[in-house]
Amino acid sequence: MPSSHTSSSTSSMPASSTEEGAPVMLECQALTRTYSEGPRDLTVLDNLSLSVRAGERVAVVGSSGSGKTTLLNLMGGLDRPTSGRVVIGGESLAGLNEAALGRFRNRYIGFVYQFHHLLAEFTAVENAALPLIIRGQRKHDAQKRALALLASVGMEARADHKPGELSGGERQRVAIARALVTDPSLVLMDEPTGNLDQTTAATILALMDELAKESACAFVIVTHDTSLAAHQDRVLKLDAGQLVEEE
Ligand SMILES: Nc1ncnc2c1ncn2[C@@H]1O[C@H](COP(=O)(O)OP(=O)(O)OP(=O)(O)O)[C@@H](O)[C@H]1O
Ligand SMILES: [Mg+2]
């Protein structure tokens, strides 16, 4: 992890401080998630703990069905744990009601879903600008910023196209631009390079490097892509509901 991250210069979030290194941005404390919808209870995450510092990038790997998306959803406040807590920048998500959680997410978290979730009726630039519009920013300013992000993922020329007119990898890049448009403190990505060729994936990596360095943004990236995982500060494997450090 680069040493410049201690200052957390452009990150607006007051992360909780620690004795050494950058402040902790994300903490998962004894997280358990049990699904009770089926005929039998299924415990996907079992007393899992993790701490990620500002500017740090963590890859989470694991076999299909091991609970990676479940974990990311808890970290992003899209789902609530059965027990345990998620703390972001010193704020426990458990203490926020749905409306406050929505505002908190919009302010501090960028989320790239495994299946994009772009709005079909909106163009690429409108989709990417949406978090800023929700925040109350003027349309013109929001779209200007969205266009800059789209340009940084090589999508400038396709900005006026709707998701139905874009390839899988292009949609993925719009989703990445949308996640980064608010300059978040924490970015959670579920298979962000699943549909990308090596050159495009490298562009995304460079953008992540820049954000981690310049705005002390913390990343948790779920991926099957070994080169993407190897590029992160730490690689953790989700297995039997627990995270184990990979060599
Ligand atoms: N809402 C739900 N109700 C019941 N079981 C669920 C629910 N969501 C996920 N599961 C189960 O929990 C387990 C973990 O699912 P999850 O989507 O987190 O896996 P994953 O590691 O992201 O897999 P993949 O790599 O295929 O995306 C799976 O066995 C899945 O069937
Ligand atoms: Mg998944």
pLDDT tens figures, 80-136: 999 999 999 999 999 999 999 999 999 999 999 888 789 999 999 999 999 999 999
DSSP 45-111: EEEEEEEEETT-EEEEE--TTSSHHHHHHHHTTSS--SEEEEEETTEEGGG--HHHHHHHHHHHEEE
Residue 22 has pLDDT above 90, yes or no: no
pLDDT at 15: 55
202 against 19, higher pLDDT: 202
Tell me how far apart the alpha carbons of residues 60 and 74 are, in angstroms, rounded to a whole number. Answer: 14
Ligand 1, residue 62: give the atom nearest the CA. 21
Q: What percent of the chain has pLDDT over 70?
A: 92
Distances (CA, A) of 6 to 18, 66, 142, 154: 10, 33, 29, 31
213: closest CA among 55, 11, 20? 55
Cα(243) to ligand 1 centroid in Å equals: 16
Candidate from 36, 66, 74 with most ligand 1 atoms within 8 A of CB, to mutate: 66
Any idea which residue has 């929700």 for tokens? 134
Ligand 1, residue 114: give the atom nearest the CA. 27
- Report pTM: 0.90
Tell me how far apart the alpha carbons of residues 150 and 146 are, in angstroms, rounded to a whole number. Answer: 6
Long-range pairs for 43-46: beta carbons < 8 A, 24 or more residues apart: 43/241, 44/70, 44/241, 45/70, 45/71, 45/74, 45/81, 45/241, 46/240, 46/241, 46/242
Helices (H), 153-197: 168-180
Query: Whose CA is closest to atom 26 on ligand 1?
Result: 64
Candidate from 69, 113, 193 with most ligand 1 atoms within 8 A of CB, to mutate: 69
Paired tokens of 238: 């989700």
Cα(221) to ligand 2 centroid in Å equals: 11
Average pLDDT over residues 164-190: 93
Cα(89) to ligand 1 centroid in Å equals: 27
Q: 45 has which bridge partners?
A: 33
Element (H, E) at 162: none
Average pLDDT over residues 209-216: 82
pLDDT at 173: 92
Cα(156) to ligand 2 centroid in Å equals: 29
